[in-house]
Amino acid sequence: MRALDLTSLATDYASGLDPETLVREIHEAIRKKGERPVWISLLPEKEVLARAADLKRRKDDNLPLYGVPFAVKDNIDVAGIATTAACPDYAYVPERSATVIERLEAAGAIVLGKTNLDQFATGLNGTRSPYGAPSSVFDADYVSGGSSSGSAVAVASGLVSFALGTDTAGSGRVPAAFNNIVGLKPTRGLVSTRGVVPACRSLDVVSVLAGTVGDALAATKVMAGFDAEDEYSRHAPRHALIPRDWPEGFRFGVPEEPQFFGDEEAEALFRDAIARMERLGGVKVAFDYTPFGRCASLLYAGAFVAERTAAVGEFAEAKPGSMYPVVRDIVLGGRKYSAVDAFKAQYELQKLLRETEPVWNSIDVMLLPSAPTIYKIADMVEDPVRLNSNLGTYTNFVNLMDLSALAVPGGFRSDGLPFGVTLVGRTFEDGRLAGLGDRLHRALGAATYGGSSRPLPGAAIQGGDADYINVAVVGAHLKGFPLHHQLADRGAVFVRTTRTAPGYALYALDTVPPKPGLVFDGASAGNIEVEVWAVPENEFGSFVGLVAAPLGIGTLSLADGTQTKGFVCEAHAARSGKDITGFGGWRAYSAAR
């Protein structure tokens, strides 16, 4: 089977491959493997071939996902094919596809079929389905992770370029870890959930499983955007999906006493991931995970479970024999909670949000195990509640706290089973996580693609975006200084702190408010501290219009050899100013005054 990552596919299409040929190849591979337990249903091959033929006629159109095959978790609607949520008696045939499917198809992607899941997306292990239990692609005795089990295995098996999952408590991250792939869990509301069978409607997100961060991000960019038909859709900032460079010295938080339930190999691999983050320029900051753990427990050990009852409780009561017993018990368990309990749970969540604010003030990102260990299918079936709960140790809190998350491979145990780690960021830091997550994935020794032995394809994700223009600020526009609001008002995004190349001098000018002037004379020491901010392209003109003489916007050379737009000063004004180059920057000079 040919490589289906976006880089390889683009090369193959440029070399003459057509979408119809690709569809036939994939269907042949699926026939050889068998549909179960990965797939619940496939679209008829003739129908998919017709879609591929139509795409071939439109190959010159601007289709960012031209001919890209993908799979869909079977709690997401695809028009004309049954949505089961892994419960045959619940099945219905939607007339319209979910918003995410409509957007992906409009971009040229090709739906192949619906994948298996833990019934009603209730579980993190992949064993709770009447259609069979998918296993890790590395060992058939071990769980695939859930609830997006079939989607993860389809990607790791090389049958699709990416697959959609859903993630309420970790369902797009745990299966990524157990199959050596990437799981991008977007911030709530960034991607529409119209047309998704709800688990916990206020917390659900549509996630993307792919072999690389770049592929997951490409699909997410197509799906993202406000949807007036989804009451939980949000107007995300434009920078939400823009990868950013991470400056030297970024702070990553790790739990003071991480829990692995006795799994020494997982613990060792997590230590290796910490070391990789440090080699990437990060500084480890240990934090107390206790309040995050208490938040995680709210999802299943408190009134929040009643939201699952609100979603499918009526069906569970009407047809209890149609549901997996453990799923039915969880769903109906929400009946015991009152409205008072629900409010108390909300109060406890707000308390925990406030309690954890100091942690986020001390770190830029979290590094966590995606799952603390992995279990055999037989053991999970024997002890389904406790072991499943263990898998969610580091995932359950994320959506409750409205955070972004990205799971990436973290290496292999001595028995060949994979381990994964997750980066957790603030709300709408999805793109920022992607920039770091891709670097972390590629820093893994002998990193491979899914269940294959192929090295990671393509180039590393680069920071920046065509819709933004980077501007280096050196004085009054620095964060915390009088004119910084001119950047903030325009939605500018912080990129990094860095320094100029040699040859620059800095002068204190006689202005109100006080400002410095940066001048290139070719002889001065340079090494002047600057902050680089990404300004939305459509706001750049208005920002430049506020820059008053003797300052202007020119092109600066930075210490790392790159160039960027930035503040410069007319030489005549600098001659009457005070040379403060020796301070190394306006912030240091201001502190010394």
pLDDT for 380 beyond 70: yes
- Is there a single domain that holds both residue 415 and residue 527? no
Q: Please report whether residue 340 resides in a domain.
A: yes
pLDDT reported for residue 1: 84
- Is there a single domain that holds both residue 562 and residue 428? no
- Is there a single domain that holds both residue 559 and residue 472? yes
* Domain assignment of residue 86, given as a range: 6-442
- Rounded to whole angstroms, the Cα distance separating 103 from 226 reads 12
Catalytic-residue membership of 32: no
CATH code of the domain containing 531: 3.10.490.10
- Is there a single domain that holds both residue 14 and residue 78? yes
Give backbone dihedrals phi and psi of 416, rounded to 5 degrees, phi first.
90, -5
Neighbours of 286 (CB within 10 A): 12
Contact predicate 396/300, CB 8 Å: yes
Catalytic option among 129, 144, 147, 192: 147
- Rounded to whole angstroms, the Cα distance separating 480 from 533 reads 14
- Is there a single domain that holds both residue 475 and residue 432? no
Dump pLDDT digits (tens) for 239-294: 899 888 888 899 999 999 999 999 999 999 999 999 999 999 999 999 999 999 99
* Beta-strand pair 110-115/69-73: parallel
Would the pTM count as exceeding 0.75?
yes
Separation of first and last alpha carbons in the chain: 67
Q: Please report whether residue 449 resides in a domain.
A: no
- Is there a single domain that holds both residue 473 and residue 358? no
Query: How far does CA 203 lie from the centroid of its chain?
Result: 15
Query: How far does CA 217 lie from the centroid of its chain?
Result: 7
Give the mean model confidence (pLDDT) for residues 18-47: 97
- Is there a single domain that holds both residue 343 and residue 228? yes
Three-state SS for 515?
Answer: strand
Closest of 86, 76, 214, 105 to residue 146, by C-alpha: 86
Q: Please report whether residue 1 resides in a domain.
A: no
- Rounded to whole angstroms, the Cα distance separating 582 from 525 reads 8
Catalytic option among 151, 171, 207, 404: 171
- Rounded to whole angstroms, the Cα distance separating 149 from 114 reads 11
Domain end point (choices 403, 425, 442): 442
Catalytic option among 41, 73, 370, 590: 73
- Quote the number of domains for the chain: 2
Three-state SS for 101?
Answer: helix
Domain end point (choices 442, 457, 484): 442
Give the mean model confidence (pLDDT) for residues 198-208: 97
Q: Please list the residues that pair with 152 across neighbouring strands.
A: none
pLDDT for 490 beyond 60: yes
pLDDT for 384 beyond 70: yes
- Rounded to whole angstroms, the Cα distance separating 361 from 287 reads 11
Query: How far does CA 304 lie from the centroid of its chain?
Result: 24
Neighbours of 142 (CB within 10 A): 22
Query: Which residue is it, tokens 């309690």?
Result: 355
pLDDT band at 229 (very low <50, low <70, confident <90, very high): very high
* Beta-strand pair 251-255/365-369: parallel
In sequence order, the 6+-apart residues with CB closer than 8 A to the CB of 277 are 252, 284, 367, 440
Domain end point (choices 387, 407, 442): 442
Give the mean model confidence (pLDDT) for residues 541-550: 94
- Rounded to whole angstroms, the Cα distance separating 30 from 24 reads 10
pLDDT reported for residue 28: 97
Contact predicate 513/476, CB 8 Å: yes
- Is there a single domain that holds both residue 223 and residue 102? yes
Dump pLDDT digits (tens) for 290-338: 999 999 999 887 899 999 999 999 999 999 999 999 999 999 999 999 9
pLDDT reported for residue 30: 98
Q: Please report whether residue 158 resides in a domain.
A: yes
- From residue 514, give the alpha-carbon distance in Å to each of 153, 554, 590: 59, 20, 10
H or E element in which residue 575 lies: helix 571-575
- From residue 271, give the alpha-carbon distance in Å to each of 182, 285, 374, 390, 523: 20, 13, 17, 20, 46
- Rounded to whole angstroms, the Cα distance separating 531 from 481 reads 12
| Angle at 546 (CA atoms; ends 544, 549), nearest 5 degrees | 90
- In three-state form (DSSP H/G/I as H, E/B as E, the rest C), the secondary structure along 281-350 is CCEEEEECCHHHHHHHHHCCCCHHHHHHHHHHHHHHHHCHHHCCHHHHHHHHHHHHCCHHHHHHHHHHHH
Q: Please list the residues that pair with 409 across neighbouring strands.
A: 420
Please name the amino acid found at residue 14. A
H or E element in which residue 206 lies: strand 205-210
CATH code of the domain containing 424: 3.90.1300.10
Q: Please list the residues that pair with 143 across neighbouring strands.
A: 135
- Is there a single domain that holds both residue 202 and residue 87? yes
pLDDT for 466 beyond 60: no
pLDDT reported for residue 19: 97
Q: Please report whether residue 346 resides in a domain.
A: yes
- Rounded to whole angstroms, the Cα distance separating 442 from 445 reads 8
The CA-based dihedral angle spanning residues 193, 296, 442, 375, taken in that order and rounded to the nearest 10 degrees? -100
Closest of 212, 132, 210 to residue 172, by C-alpha: 210
- Is there a single domain that holds both residue 180 and residue 264? yes
- Is there a single domain that holds both residue 405 and residue 497? no
Catalytic-residue membership of 565: no
Give the mean model confidence (pLDDT) for residues 588-593: 92
Catalytic-residue membership of 336: no
- From residue 510, give the alpha-carbon distance in Å to each of 223, 475, 550, 580: 50, 13, 11, 13
- From residue 112, give the alpha-carbon distance in Å to each of 47, 276, 360: 10, 37, 41
- Is there a single domain that holds both residue 227 and residue 161? yes
Q: Please report whether residue 240 resides in a domain.
A: yes
Q: Please report whether residue 235 resides in a domain.
A: yes
Neighbours of 318 (CB within 10 A): 9
Q: Please report whether residue 447 resides in a domain.
A: no
Dump pLDDT digits (tens) for 176-198: 999 999 999 999 999 999 999 99
